[in-house]
Amino acid sequence: MRGVVRWFVVWLAVLSLGDVLGAQPSARSATVELRDAHWFDGTRFVRGSRFVRDDHFIDPPRGGADSVIALAGAYLVPPFGDAHTHSPDGARDYEAIRQTYFDVGVFYVQTLANHRAARRDLLPWLGRATELDVVFADAVVTATGGHPQILYELLATRFRPFWENDAERFEAFRSRTQDGQVYYRLDRLADVDSVVRLIARDAGPVLKIMLLQSDRHAERAGDSTYAGSYGLPPDVVAPLVRAAHQLGKRVWAHVETPVDFAVALDAGVDAFAHVPGYGAADAPDSLLASLLLPDSLVRRAGAQRVEMTATAALGVAEAGEDTARVRRHAAVVQRNVRALANAGVQFLVGSDNYNNAHILRLEPRALARMLGQSPVALLRTWAVHTPQAIFPGRRIGVLASGYEASALVLACDPLRELECLQRIQRRMKQGVWLPE
Ligand SMILES: [Zn+2]
């Protein structure tokens, strides 16, 4: 009898040891050869094979791979990034939004303003190989009644982003339903510490701050006739940025004018969500010169190695067919963009988009046109710099041993024909082929 008990105990022990071993990857997981493709190496395409084990590329294994996928000369590029979006924002529509990004080839997005609770609703999805990889800025910091308080209050109470009369504008100005969710209000220096305590509740790597017409803040803030058209008082920006950096957060600034840009640079902001002069299409001709960045500011931005999304497609779309508006936009924004790029500012793809595949596709082209960029530089911006800027700690954007095995399989050479960037045949993310 005792012998039987002892055998049973040993059998149980073997079972649980088996469980432990089963939970680990087996001694050596299968190696896959992706055979005979053109691989983008950051400057050109190189023909050959790559090997994948688990979620990353590896050196060619001695003795070859366990299986082979013939790619028959297809063109492989790293997946794209979008460093300025506003989706996903919650579980509602998430699957459709994910599909829109994947269709375009975008695996990495950074939402520069989203609901904090909605981000938590997405936790069951995020962090898996087959899902979008998202950085959330959560709630942005602005002044009471500023941008984007009015926008998000109108969305929450009227289900549209604009007011129809003064009464609705005033109601949005007084409304606080989204306070502490999509925005924090900061109106004076003495309140910086209390707002920083609120920001510190979320561990995300990015904070977004709002600067609009900073030189006119004193006359506009708190006046409901300027609802939504101002942001932070300039004197809070430096201590706020310092505190965010102490929390380990990169700071992105929404700016509109050269004065906003100067305030943000003085404060040590890391990146910009728009080009100064954004909105030039609607500015009177007499104001255009004041929207051009002075050389001294351009040089400082280059020296501080800041990054910037130009939201170029949005500018083009907003300027519309009206040639005078297009001319004003181009005269200011394109000149500022080229001056900043020449000084060393790194431009990233950022569509400022909710879920519009057309804008997602248009943005890299519009940015490249604005910069006068070659196709290879465009590809580097979209597939290398932008993903690496969103996830600076990850081994992405490179199709080589030691990097995550993520790639888009293109039917043709995008350096010969840019349309090939959207002739995507298959998508691999962290070693997993995504469903077609
Ligand atoms: Zn935005």
Burial class of residue 168 in the structure, from the number of CB atoms within 10 Å of its CB (0-12 exposed, 13-18 middle, 19+ buried):
middle
Phi, psi of 209 (to 5 degrees): -120, 155
CA–centroid distance, 401 to ligand 1, in Å, is 35
Nearest of 108, 200, 184 to residue 141 by alpha carbon? 184
Same domain? 336 vs 197: yes
How many CB atoms neighbour CB 237 within 10 A? 26
Residue 311 resides in a domain: yes
Residue 262 resides in a domain: yes
CA–centroid distance, 172 to ligand 1, in Å, is 19
pLDDT at 325: 82
CA–centroid distance, 286 to ligand 1, in Å, is 27
CA–centroid distance, 271 to ligand 1, in Å, is 13
pLDDT at 330: 82
pLDDT at 24: 46
CA–centroid distance, 309 to ligand 1, in Å, is 10
Residue 286 resides in a domain: yes
Residue 23 resides in a domain: no
pLDDT at 318: 67
Residue 266 resides in a domain: yes
* Pair of tokens at residue 32: 């896959």
CA–centroid distance, 191 to ligand 1, in Å, is 25
Residue 7 resides in a domain: no
Same domain? 314 vs 232: yes
Same domain? 34 vs 172: no
d(CA 248, CA 261): 22
pLDDT at 431: 97
How many CB atoms neighbour CB 263 within 10 A? 24
Same domain? 236 vs 374: yes
Residue 1 resides in a domain: no
pLDDT at 4: 44
Angle, vertex CA 113, rays to CA 211 and CA 170, nearest 5: 65
The CATH number given to whatever domain includes residue 433 is 2.30.40.10
CA–centroid distance, 112 to ligand 1, in Å, is 6
CA–centroid distance, 136 to ligand 1, in Å, is 12
Same domain? 37 vs 156: no
pLDDT at 14: 40
Same domain? 43 vs 148: no
Residues of the chain with pLDDT under 50: 1-26
Instruction: Quote the number of domains for the chain.
Output: 2
- Cβ partners under 8 Å of residue 27, min gap 6: none
Same domain? 216 vs 332: yes
The CATH number given to whatever domain includes residue 364 is 3.20.20.140
Q: Which residues span the domain enclosing 341?
A: 80-390
Q: Which of 371, 390, 409 finishes a domain?
A: 390
Same domain? 409 vs 366: no
Residue 152 resides in a domain: yes
pLDDT at 22: 41
User: Rg of the chain's alpha carbons, rounded to an integer?
Assistant: 25
* Pair of tokens at residue 248: 């380990």
Stated pTM of the model: 0.91
CA–centroid distance, 420 to ligand 1, in Å, is 28
CA–centroid distance, 187 to ligand 1, in Å, is 21
Tell me whether strands 67-70 and 206-210 are parallel, antiparallel or unpaired.
unpaired
Same domain? 68 vs 186: no
Residues by chain with Cβ below 5 Å of ion ligand 1: 352
Same domain? 289 vs 247: yes
d(CA 54, CA 48): 20
CA–centroid distance, 48 to ligand 1, in Å, is 40
Same domain? 290 vs 167: yes
CA–centroid distance, 352 to ligand 1, in Å, is 4
Q: Is 179 helix (H, G, I), strand (E, B) or coil?
A: strand
Same domain? 227 vs 181: yes
